[in-house]
Amino acid sequence: VALESDLRRALVDQELEVHYQPTIVLESGAMVGVEALVRWPHPERGMVRPDLFIPIAEQTGMIHELGRQVLRRACAQGQEWAQLSPQTALTVAVNVSAKQLQRRDFVDEVREVLLESGFPAERLVLEMTESVLVHDAEATLDTLQALKAMGVRIAIDDFGTGYSSLSYLHRFPVDILKIDRSFVERLSGTEDEDNLVESIVQLGHTLRLETIAEGIEEADQIEALRRLGCQMAQGYHFGRPVPAQDLSHLIAPSL
Ligand code: G
Ligand code: G
Ligand code: G
Ligand code: MN
Ligand code: NA
């Protein structure tokens, strides 16, 4: 309850921060995007992890305000980077809870944030988990098609850990599969584990989806992923989530 009222106050005072983790093209090593990850610098508890407060926000309905603040911040930041370095054309990926997608006005909210920030819809990626597609499939399909029509791209987060079905992947306007880090962790071990990642990458090729491997911590995982045909990656090896200013030197090196 203490955390809940603290979170309510943090939202009113706009105390949440957004950190950004680079997304890298495996072939070239170029940074092509970032994932926005919310952070809560709590006055007494220090940095509170999202795993702790996102569920509270979902249960109390605060997730809508939280999500709006993160989306606003991330699109404004994306636009700032675009102006500092027009040639970089970074994508910005924002995590979205099932609860947010279920709200009727979610699409309007995304449209408004894009208009207000000037950030191009084509460079916004919304990340959601597989479970979102399964529950309330008809309403979700409408929502995703409306987002798609605006130009926004859809990524399935933690892919491989949820309720996977080929038919919904085919049916929903998904653009990107993010391969869960539990699969990447076990890479370069036995052939069976490599084959698991390989089949997700192959599925991506078949459905014409981009694949992003998550949780790369070791250099030897990069070679394995390249060999398996995975296009992109994220992980502490390339960069952990950091405040926007800590990425500026990578985005506009001359500044
Ligand atoms: O960043 P880690 O940084 O600890 O994130 C933990 C979990 O919180 C992940 O599952 C991530 O997707 C989720 N998360 C991080 N930021 C956000 C956010 O802005 N909105 C939602 N809904 N989830 C987020
Ligand atoms: O669920 P989602 O994929 O959005 O959450 C991303 C989570 O993974 C965040 O908590 C982020 O901080 C964390 N993360 C990012 N890169 C790595 C990594 O290389 N190793 C580990 N263990 N976690 C990572
Ligand atoms: O950022 P720093 O200089 O502390 O990073 C040292 C090394 O550890 C780098 O290779 C970096 O990619 C990696 N790294 C950074 N943060 C984390 C983390 O939270 N967990 C793990 N396992 N590795 C990290
Ligand atoms: Mn994510
Ligand atoms: Na993930």
For residue range 129-155, list pLDDT tens digits in order.
998 888 888 899 999 999 999 999 999
Assess whether the C-beta atom of 51 lies below 6 angstroms from ligand 1.
yes
Question: What's the CA-to-centroid distance between 165 and ligand 4, angstroms?
Answer: 20
Judge whether 205 lies within some domain. Answer: yes
What's the pLDDT tens digit per position in 162-191?
877 788 888 999 999 999 999 998 886 666
What spacing in Å lies between the alpha carbon of 234 and ligand 2's midpoint?
8
In a domain, residue 128? The reply is yes
- Indicate if the pLDDT at residue 198 is higher than 70: yes
Expressed in angstroms and rounded, the spacing between residue 186 Cα and the centre of ligand 3 is 19
User: Distance between CA atoms of 232 and 24, rounded to whole angstroms?
Assistant: 5
- Which atom of ligand 2 is nearest the CA belonging to 180? 3
Query: Domain for residue 222, yes or no?
Result: yes
More confident of the two residues 249 and 182: 182
Predicted local distance difference test score (pLDDT) of residue 163: 75
Nearest-atom number in ligand 3 for the CA of 236 is: 12
Q: Which atom of ligand 2 is nearest to the CA of 241?
A: 12
DSSP tag of 215:
-
Residue nearest to atom 19 of ligand 1 (CA): 38
* Structural domain of 207: 2-249
Nearest CA to ligand 3 atom 14: 236
Residue 107 counted as domain residue: yes
Query: Quick check: is 255 in a domain?
Result: no
pLDDT of residue 7: 98
- Which of 39, 33, 64 is CA-nearest to residue 51? 39
Lowest mean pLDDT among 58-62, 107-111, 130-134: 130-134
- Asked if residue 77 belongs to a domain, the reply is yes
State in Å: Cα 35 to ligand 5 middle.
Answer: 10
Q: How many domains does the chain have?
A: 1
Rounded to an integer, what distance in angstroms lies between the CA atom of residue 67 and that of residue 23? 21
C-alpha distances (whole Å) from 147 to each of 77, 124, 150, 153, 197 are 20, 10, 5, 8, 29
d(CA 180, CA 200): 10
178 forms beta bridges with 212
Query: What does the alpha-carbon distance between residue 153 and residue 44 come to, in Å, rounded to a whole number?
Result: 38
Q: Is residue 39 part of a domain?
A: yes
Question: What average pLDDT is seen over the chain?
Answer: 93
C-alpha distances in angstroms, 68 versus 110, 113, 145, 197? 8, 8, 20, 34
The CATH number of residue 128's host domain is 3.20.20.450
Pick from 21, 38, 156, 212 the residue to mutate for probing ligand 1's pocket: most ligand atoms within 8 Å of its CB: 38
Domain membership of residue 254 (yes or no) is no
Ligand 4 centre and the CA of 94: distance in Å?
7
Task: State the Cα–Cα distance between residues 126 and 92, nearest whole angstrom.
Answer: 9
The pair of structure tokens assigned to 5 is: 């009222």
Q: Answer yes or no: is the C-beta of 90 below 6 A from any ligand 1 atom.
A: no
The rounded Cα 163 to chain-centroid distance in angstroms is 19
38 lines ligand 1 (CB under 6 A): yes
Q: Residues near ligand 3 with C-beta < 6 Å?
A: 217, 236-237, 240
Q: Is the ipTM of this complex over 0.85?
A: yes
